[in-house]
């Protein structure tokens, strides 16, 4: 089992944060700093990776109880993570961020670029195209995510959203939509027209860049 102490100093999360700033760290590295240390069975980096898989599904509404099934996570670590989420939620909210261009949505989703599976994300917007929420609705296979319009629109309907932006990461690194991407976008767009919720864009993204359906007249 590799510990953080085994890593070169410049690759250790704490040292990396001091040297490069928090934005340079992955989700896994940031959570490793919060946890502080791992257990006898699981080093802190692998423990962080397992917790992030749960956070991707539960989102910002994650609770301490959601984390207790992870081996190596007891009440102390679970409540620490839940408290950290609540502290940030009370102070930093996406509401008020206005989406005018595909790049405006990237800060809300870019941290999913390093995931090994496709994460299909829906950003709900109000009538002024201000962000109401950002949610992962499905997590798929290595190279594809199966998503149904009912999953996409479930929360936007409850929120009374006026529009949505779709997004998903491409673990392959390719910034070209697949035939499946085109098909699912069309189906969601048709469903949105029926519901009166406009689909403004579908953004594919990787660490290297993004691809906008709207910019390529594919909506």
Q: Which long-range contacts (CB under 8 A, 24 or more apart) does 60-63 make?
A: 60/85, 60/89
Least confident of 36-40, 136-140, 148-152: 36-40
Spatial CA neighbour of 132 closest among 122, 147, 117: 122
Residue 145 has pLDDT above 70, yes or no: no
66 and 136 assigned to the same domain: no
By CB atoms closer than 10 A (0-12, 13-18, 19+), residue 70 is middle
Cα–Cα–Cα angle for 103, 108, 114, rounded to 5 degrees = 95
173 and 110 assigned to the same domain: yes
110 and 67 assigned to the same domain: no
Q: Which long-range contacts (CB under 8 A, 24 or more apart) does 144-148 make?
A: 144/118, 144/178, 144/180, 145/117, 145/118, 145/119, 145/120, 147/120, 147/184, 147/188
**CA–CA dist 120, 188 (Å, integer):** 12
Show the tokens assigned to 43.
């080093």
Structure confidence at residue 95 as a pLDDT band (50, 70, 90): low
Show the tokens assigned to 103.
């790049």
Q: Is 0.85 topped by the overall pTM?
A: no
The verdict on residue 95 lying in a domain is: no
Show the tokens assigned to 210.
């993004």
59 and 126 assigned to the same domain: no
Show the tokens assigned to 82.
């839940």
pLDDT at 91: 60
The verdict on residue 218 lying in a domain is: no
Query: pLDDT tens-digit profile of 51-65?
Result: 888 888 887 778 899
Query: pLDDT tens-digit profile of 106-120?
Result: 988 888 998 888 999
115 and 178 assigned to the same domain: yes
**CA–CA dist 1, 163 (Å, integer):** 47
H helix runs in 42-125, sequence order = 44-58, 64-67, 75-89, 106-109
42 and 130 assigned to the same domain: no
Phi-psi region of 206 (alpha: psi -120 to 50; beta: other; left: phi over 0): beta
For residue 139, the cross-strand partners are 119
**Where is the domain boundary, 37, 68, 89?**
89
Work out how many domains the chain is built from and give that number.
Answer: 2
Residue 143 has pLDDT above 60, yes or no: no
79 and 120 assigned to the same domain: no
Give the residue numbers spanning the domain of 164.
Answer: 102-212
């Amino acid at each position: 089992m590799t510990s953080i102490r085994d890593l070169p100093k410049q690759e250790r999360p704490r040292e990396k944060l001091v040297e490069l700033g928090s934005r340079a760290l992955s989700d896994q590295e940031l959570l490793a700093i919060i946890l502080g240390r791992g257990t006898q069975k699981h080093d802190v980096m692998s423990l962080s990776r397992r917790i992030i898989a749960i956070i991707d599904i539960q989102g910002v509404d994650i609770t301490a109880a959601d984390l207790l099934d992870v081996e190596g996570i007891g009440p102390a670590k679970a409540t620490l993570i839940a408290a950290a989420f609540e502290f940030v939620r009370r102070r930093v909210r996406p509401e008020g961020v206005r989406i005018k261009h595909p790049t405006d949505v990237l800060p809300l989703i870019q941290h999913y670029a390093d995931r090994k599976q496709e994460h299909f994300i829906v950003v709900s917007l109000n009538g002024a195209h201000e962000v109401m929420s950002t949610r992962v609705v499905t997590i798929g296979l290595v190279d594809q995510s199966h998503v149904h319009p009912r999953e996409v629109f479930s929360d936007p309907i409850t929120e009374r959203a006026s529009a949505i932006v779709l997004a998903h990461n491409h673990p392959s690194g390719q910034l070209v939509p697949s035939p499946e991407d085109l098909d699912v976008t069309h189906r969601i767009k048709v469903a949105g027209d029926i519901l009166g919720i406009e689909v403004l864009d579908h953004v594919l993204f990787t660490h290297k860049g993004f691809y906008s359906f709207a910019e390529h007249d594919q909506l």
